[in-house]
Amino acid sequence: MNTCCRSVRSCFPILFSRPPLFAVLAALLLLGGGAARAAEASADDLLKQAREAFRKGKGADAVALATKAITAEPKNPGPRHIRAQIHVALRQHAQAIADYTEALKLDPSAVGVYQARGAEHFRLGHIAESIADWDKFIAAHPEQAAHHWQRGIAYYYAGRFTDGRKAFELHQTVNSHDVENAVWHFLCMAREQGVEKARAALIPIDGDSRVPMAQVHQLFAGKLKPADVLAAATAGNVSGERKERQVFYAHLYLGLYYEAIGDAKLARDHIEKSAAEYQKHDYMGDVAHVHAEILRKPAGKK
């Protein structure tokens, strides 16, 4: 999604991005009260070395140094938070989950960790676990429920289409200019009540300037064809990463469109392209990857 979760991002920026490790250090105290205190000198030195190693692209060294900091202060959750963030940046999701889990044992009040761990569960396709973590985060921060589009997407993959529809209706109240919110609302409603009712209830969106989002919205409204979405994504003199992102979004939402109307083959083709050819390491890229993995599973295991 594009402009979602602004207030959550401002409250918990460490949870919604993969910042350089110096930003992780600066944001650490936001995760949960005084128990995530500044490390003592020896652990602090090790974490500074880990930061430098990470900046230089030496991920394995950064993990090893953070591990030494954990050994130096095994009762301090701070080094575990930091090593978890290194694992996140290295896309080592299982290891990140393990560190977040240990950090929560040391400091159960650090409810922000549930948000971070939920995202890692989702990236591994652990849909039920991601929702459970986000439920705990929102229970502690109910004011963030409207901003939590991530949980809405997870509801879709969990088959909880009514919950998903309601989540995107709620999100619309705080983010009214995002075509993706309207589309995910459509997807949940189509599974819940059928495509025609979903199309009739398609949320109107104005102000999403990203290419090809206007065409994606018109596709789901029944006013354009899939070819029009791809044409918009590839038009003009745009090149490089910007064009890749446009084509990524075109294939992602074409795949979801075909899934909604029941064309499994074309859905798979476009989702695979979005996941394999155009995936970037942001959250919607992760969504494409998770969706592709679900489609690859035998029918009985989905």
What's the pLDDT tens digit per position in 123-178?
A: 999 999 999 999 999 999 999 999 999 999 999 999 999 999 999 999 999 999 99
Q: Are 134 and 143 in contact (CB under 8 A)?
A: no
Name the amino acid, one letter, at 223.
K
Judge if 85 and 201 occupy the same domain.
Answer: no
Cα distances (Å, whole numbers) of residue 45 to 68, 89, 249: 10, 21, 43
- Rounded CA gap, 165 and 273, in Å? 26
- Supply the pLDDT for residue 301: 58
Mean pLDDT for all residues in the chain: 88
- Rounded CA gap, 82 and 63, in Å? 9
Query: Which range of residues forms the domain containing residue 109?
Result: 6-131
207: left (phi over 0), alpha (psi -120 to 50) or beta: left
Tens of pLDDT along 27-74?
Answer: 433 444 344 444 344 899 999 999 999 999 999 999 999 999 999 999
- Rounded CA gap, 260 and 240, in Å? 31
- Supply the pLDDT for residue 18: 36
Q: Which residues contact 102 (CB under 8 A, 6 or more apart)?
A: 77, 80
Judge if 165 and 270 occupy the same domain.
Answer: yes
Answer with the one of 131, 159, 180 that is the final residue of a domain: 131
Instruction: Name the pLDDT band for 189 (thresholds 50, 70, 90).
Output: very high
- Supply the pLDDT for residue 282: 86
Judge if 191 and 248 occupy the same domain.
Answer: yes
Which residue matches tokens 């690859």?
296
Q: How many domains does the structure of the chain reveal?
A: 2
Mean pLDDT of 80-101: 97
Mean pLDDT of 194-219: 97
Tens of pLDDT along 247-275?
Answer: 999 999 999 999 999 999 999 999 999 99
Name the amino acid, one letter, at 293.
E
- Rounded CA gap, 94 and 100, in Å? 10
